[in-house]
Chain A
Amino acid sequence: MSHGPSAPGVAASAHAHDAPYEPVFTPGSARSKELADLITRYPDKRAALLPALWMVQNDRGWISEAAMMEVGDQLGCTAAYVKGVVTFYTMYHQHPVGKHFIQVCTTSPCLCAGADKVVEAFLEHTGCKELGLTSADGRYTVIEVECLGACGFATPVQINEDYVENVTPEKVPEILAGLP
């Protein structure tokens, strides 16, 4: 479960805390239609909550209090209820994060393959220095993650949506150089 909000960091201004929130599910929008379709899959529309939050995070980069209110309105629950759900799961960002969100698995099977050294290499080469902080240029945030379900390809690293497998410290500069 999520242990408190992800650490705040310096972020690209488009995602910043103080920027006004632009609703995702405006009437007639593609997202609005997508959500309406999704709701028909379930006998209770609240079941579309996790998917709706995914849409917001996808479009806005993170889930703000205003977003929680919007999603709550769409699905007939309070913003406080939505917040309770958001804070349970580790993948919803409650603060802006770097353009490339880098998650290194360090759970035991990966640890015994040297995952701790991979974390160090990412912290060094991204300039993030500390876990959970975003680099000064807003490009990177590095965190440790629990088992990614790819333990046979140690060390797996998730960069935004994608897995990169069999990562060693030596490969880190090349991986970073390959990111847009």
Chain B
Amino acid sequence: MGYPHKSHPRETPILSKHFGEPEARTLEGWKARGGYKALAQALHMEPVAIQEIVKASGLRGRGGAGFPTGLKWSFMKIGDGKPHYLCANADESEPGTFKDREIMRWTPHALIEGCAIAAHAIGAETAYIYIRGEFTEPINVMEAALVEARAAGIIGKNAMGSGRRVDVWVHKGAGAYICGEETALMNSLEGKRGNPRIKPPFPAVSGLFGMPTTINNVETLAAVPHILNNGAEWYKAMCLSNPKSTGSKLYSVCGNVAKPGNYEVVMGFSFKEFLYDLCGGPLPGRKFKALIPGGSSVPTITIEEAEATIMDYEGFVAQGTMLGSGGVIVFDDAQSMPRQLARIARFYAHESCAQCTQCREGTAWMTKILERIVAGEGTFEDLDTIFDLSEAMTGKTICVLSDSCGAPVVSGITKFRGEFEALIKGRRSSTVAVGAR
């Protein structure tokens, strides 16, 4: 990790190797660390050849869904005569996730290089890095690095003297979690409200400005130069378990844990060792109770389930949850799960773009019920209503924000039902004590 703590010996710092080193932010410092060699090589390769290397590496999207990156790139029809676009998704607003911020503020050139390579690989001359508006510092660092890269001719009309045009621009968002959803991001970039679009058409057919577009997460793009430098086999070898999950992954760890921060480990690492060894275990005198391991949009698991988890895409699914964005939220035995889950539901209610009835009404209603339970005014029927609501909110809307609200809540109620029932029973007994109301 390198920042705010030193890397743990069991980490595999590739993306995070230079976190905490201010010199890595400058072009000179970046070149001294091996920067832009991959781009120089890539600009003289055919786009399809780059796609093949990335496919062979097994790299999968780090933004949440884990879609194979090389395959996604191959959906872009090279030579169709249309302008193509690359969008780097730096909207990072998923609760628990703060890894892209570190990539941008410590190693801006890693993202620029990744963008330029990816742009060439999909036949695009323009890449936009869409950064959430709150990220002033990362935006300033990225802008400064872009000025340097442009002045040095690394990007621009004739990128690194290759005769190819590659422009990379930062576009600043203005506060809206939903703009991390890829089609909402494109609308926002076009100067519209950030409403997700109905798919199909998929972005590779009709995306930004109606043109073929690829959207990738910051971490996905930052991994690409390393793959070109070291080869697909090297990347694929970073795998301790399922061969469908390869490479290193940055996990953001937060909540009730001794050493919150970003940790980079290879796919297939043991979650138990990760939590107790790398992250320092629980705070003094406390015990871990529950986790939401992939950003707040994935199902809640118990500490027992977490201890049995293998950290890769398949490993998290085997425990009934998902790797998601890699944002690990840890709750200890001092936390009230009803209170935390109510707060998570409130997040989704606040961030719903309100296009779909199920989502707009469902997220608000679920929040209201949960807050009622927390206030000691809930009923057992309320719990059933939440389950019904979640079902009505899942798989029926334009995007998956609606599903994401129910996922941590329903699993959380199932696994920590006792805490909910205690609050509800507390109400019953107080009602009896006060008399009929």
Point out the residues of chain A lying under 8 angstroms from B193, CB to CB. 84-85, 88
- Interface pair A112/B260, CB less than 8 Å apart: no
- Interface pair A152/B191, CB less than 8 Å apart: no
Interface positions of A (Cβ within 8 A of B): 1-3, 41-44, 46-51, 53-54, 75, 77, 84-85, 88-92, 103, 106-109, 111-113, 145-154, 158, 161-163
Point out the residues of chain B lying under 8 angstroms from A103, CB to CB. 134
- Interface pair B174/A113, CB less than 8 Å apart: no
B171 at the interface (CB under 8 A from A): yes
Point out the residues of chain B lying under 8 angstroms from A51, CB to CB. 171-172
Point out the residues of chain B lying under 8 angstroms from A49, CB to CB. 191
**Per-residue CB proximity of B168-189 to A under 8 Å, as 1/0?**
0101111111100000000011
Point out the residues of chain B lying under 8 angstroms from A109, CB to CB. 95-96, 254-255, 329
Given A49-B191, A50-B188, the answer on whether A111 and B340 have CB atoms closer than 8 Å is yes
User: Besides A75-B191, A91-B134, A147-B95, 18 other CB < 8 A contacts?
Assistant: A1-B194, A1-B352, A1-B354, A46-B191, A46-B192, A47-B190, A51-B171, A51-B172, A85-B192, A90-B175, A92-B175, A108-B95, A108-B329, A149-B92, A149-B93, A151-B96, A151-B98, A151-B329
Given A152-B261, A154-B254, A158-B134, the answer on whether A146 and B351 have CB atoms closer than 8 Å is yes
8 interchain pairs (CB within 8 A)?
A46-B191, A46-B192, A47-B171, A77-B191, A85-B192, A107-B95, A107-B344, A146-B350
- Interface pair A89/B340, CB less than 8 Å apart: no
B252 at the interface (CB under 8 A from A): yes
Point out the residues of chain A lying under 8 angstroms from B92, CB to CB. 149
Within 8 A of A (CB), among B365-403: none
Within 8 A of A (CB), among B134-189: 134-137, 167, 169, 171-178, 188-189
Q: How far is the CB of A169 from chain B (nearest CB, A)?
A: 17
Given A90-B175, A149-B132, the answer on whether A50 and B167 have CB atoms closer than 8 Å is no
Interface positions of B (Cβ within 8 A of A): 4, 83, 92-98, 100-101, 126, 132-137, 167, 169, 171-178, 188-194, 209, 252-256, 260-262, 296, 327, 329, 331, 335, 339-341, 343-344, 347, 350-354
Measured between alpha carbons, how far is A28 from B102 in the docked complex, in Å? 39
Point out the residues of chain A lying under 8 angstroms from B98, CB to CB. 149-153
- How many A-B residue pairs have C-beta atoms within 8 angstroms? Tell me: 153
Select A146's contact among B126, B177, B188, B327, beta carbons within 8 Å: B177
- Interface pair A54/B174, CB less than 8 Å apart: yes
A-B complex: 6 closest residue pairs judged by Cβ atoms: A49-B191, A90-B175, A91-B175, A89-B174, A151-B254, A46-B191
Select A150's contact among B101, B194, B209, B341, beta carbons within 8 Å: B101
- Interface pair B353/A50, CB less than 8 Å apart: no
Q: How far is the CB of A31 from chain B (nearest CB, A)?
A: 16
Select B256's contact among A41, A91, A112, beta carbons within 8 Å: A112
Point out the residues of chain A lying under 8 angstroms from B190, CB to CB. 44, 46-47
- Interface pair A151/B252, CB less than 8 Å apart: yes
Point out the residues of chain B lying under 8 angstroms from A108, CB to CB. 95, 255, 296, 329, 340-341, 343-344, 347
Select B136's contact among A41, A112, A154, A163, beta carbons within 8 Å: A163
Select B95's contact among A41, A54, A151, beta carbons within 8 Å: A151
Q: How far is the CB of A85 from chain B (nearest CB, A)?
A: 6
Nearest residue, chain B, Cβ from A54: B172
